[in-house]
């Protein structure tokens, strides 16, 4: 199985990287990128989002892999607490990161929430609310409206990264796994997260996922003016921290849905700390979660999961 997994990992990565990266390269050389960079970035983003799930399906077809371990079953009866955790923990992490950033850089904190006021200038009702109440209202709308919508959009990525690549890497990296002890096409045992293979798989999946994003980041953010090795490393810390959290939810529940929910919530909530920002953000530090301070909540969650040792044997669940 290990040789088969290695082959499938290589094919999956070739597809997952080759299609969107080549698209981004082509778009970067077009007139559209010069005259309408936002439209070019939107086109690239659509290709990027669609590729991981497509790579999952194509890899299975190319290698004649079985379809029994798609991890699309919700498993809600057993895994509901991981759905809930991946819905609420990102909010806690974003709040922790924002508080830490503004505690260290108080001059960057705008109690009047000028950025938020500017964003909601066309909403008459917003003018009657205090900055705190307005931020709370937007946060609740994000949690209950935007996040579920984002979860559907994020499912495509997670179906590739956490529902396919993660399980292959976990099997390949588990120090107790050998070619003699594992049968061909045997599924990864789910319900267990605290193993060496799962830790390594979660971290490596996060690193790969972060590197995969780089062309899109260059096309859509301020990093394009100065993408350095340090900014890449900081971003990888962020994606690896997220991957530990998402992988925990997936492996414990036996379903990709908790990761899709968490991914959608993070994408939606990442704007919250910036509501109170005075001046420009510090890309390496925050207040966005992709900075070291802004993302400190996710780093703390990831370290807690990696260093936590359960007192009793973990139970497996059905996929």
Copy the structure tokens of residue 116: 């938020």
- Whether 45 maps to a domain, the answer reads no
Tell me the C-alpha distance between 71 and 158, whole Å: 10
- Whether 1 maps to a domain, the answer reads no
Helices (H) and strands (E) in the chain, counts: 12, 0
pLDDT of 221 reads: 60
Highest mean pLDDT among 150-154, 227-231, 309-313: 150-154
- Whether 149 maps to a domain, the answer reads yes
Query: What mean pLDDT comes out for the span 260-279?
Result: 95
- Domain hosting 79: range is 71-307
pLDDT of 59 reads: 98
- Whether 66 maps to a domain, the answer reads no
- Whether 317 maps to a domain, the answer reads no
pLDDT of 318 reads: 46
- Whether 58 maps to a domain, the answer reads no
**Do 172 and 20 form a contact (C-beta atoms < 8 A)?**
no
Q: How far is CA 188 from the centre of its chain?
A: 21
For residue 1, pLDDT over 70 is answered with: no
pLDDT digits over 119-170, tens only? 888 888 888 889 899 999 999 999 999 999 999 999 999 999 999 999 999 9
Query: What mean pLDDT comes out for the span 78-82?
Result: 94
Instruction: Name the residue with tokens 């936002």.
Output: 38
CB under 8 A, 24+ apart: contacts of 187-190: 187/68, 187/69, 187/319, 188/69, 189/316, 190/71, 190/251, 190/252, 190/253, 190/254, 190/316, 190/317, 190/319
- Whether 181 maps to a domain, the answer reads yes
Copy the structure tokens of residue 12: 């999956």
DSSP 138-179: HHHHIIIIIHHHHHHHHHHHHHHIIIIIHHHHHHHH-TT--T
Beta strands of the chain (E only): which ranges? none
Tell me the C-alpha distance between 74 and 187, whole Å: 17
Total domains, the chain: 1
- Whether 193 maps to a domain, the answer reads yes
Is the model more confident about 1 or about 18?
18
Q: Is the pTM above the cut of 0.95?
A: no
pLDDT digits over 91-103, tens only? 999 999 999 999 9
* Average pLDDT value over all residues in the chain: 89
Copy the structure tokens of residue 256: 């990709």
């Amino acid at each position: 199985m290990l040789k088969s997994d290695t082959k499938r990992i290589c094919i999956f990565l070739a597809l997952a990287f080759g299609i969107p990266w080549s698209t981004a390269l082509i778009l970067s050389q077009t007139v559209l990128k010069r005259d309408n960079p936002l439209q070019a970035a939107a086109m690239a983003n659509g290709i990027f989002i669609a590729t991981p799930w497509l790579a999952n399906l194509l890899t299975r077809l190319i290698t004649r892999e079985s379809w029994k371990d798609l991890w699309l079953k919700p498993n809600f009866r057993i895994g509901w607490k991981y759905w809930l955790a991946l819905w609420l923990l990102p909010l806690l992490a974003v709040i922790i990161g924002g508080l830490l950033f503004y505690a260290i850089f108080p001059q960057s904190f705008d109690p009047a929430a000028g950025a938020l006021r500017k964003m909601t200038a066309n909403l008459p009702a917003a003018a009657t609310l205090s900055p705190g109440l307005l931020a709370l209202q937007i946060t609740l709308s994000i949690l209950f409206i935007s996040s579920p919508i984002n979860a559907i959009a994020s499912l495509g990525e997670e179906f590739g990264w956490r529902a396919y690549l993660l399980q292959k890497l976990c099997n390949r990296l588990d120090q107790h796994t050998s070619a003699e002890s594992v049968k061909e096409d045997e599924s990864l045992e789910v319900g267990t997260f605290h193993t060496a293979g799962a830790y390594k798989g979660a971290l490596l999946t996060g690193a790969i996922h972060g590197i995969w994003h780089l062309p899109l980041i260059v096309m859509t953010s301020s990093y394009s003016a100065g993408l350095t090795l340090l900014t890449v490393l900081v971003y990888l810390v962020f994606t690896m921290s997220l991957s530990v959290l998402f992988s925990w939810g997936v492996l414990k529940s036996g379903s990709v849905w908790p990761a899709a929910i968490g991914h959608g919530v993070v994408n939606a909530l990442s704007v919250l700390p910036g509501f109170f920002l005075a001046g420009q953000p510090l890309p390496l530090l925050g207040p966005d979660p992709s900075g070291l301070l802004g993302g400190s909540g996710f780093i703390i969650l990831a370290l807690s999961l990696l260093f936590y040792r359960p007192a009793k044997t973990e139970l497996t669940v059905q996929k």
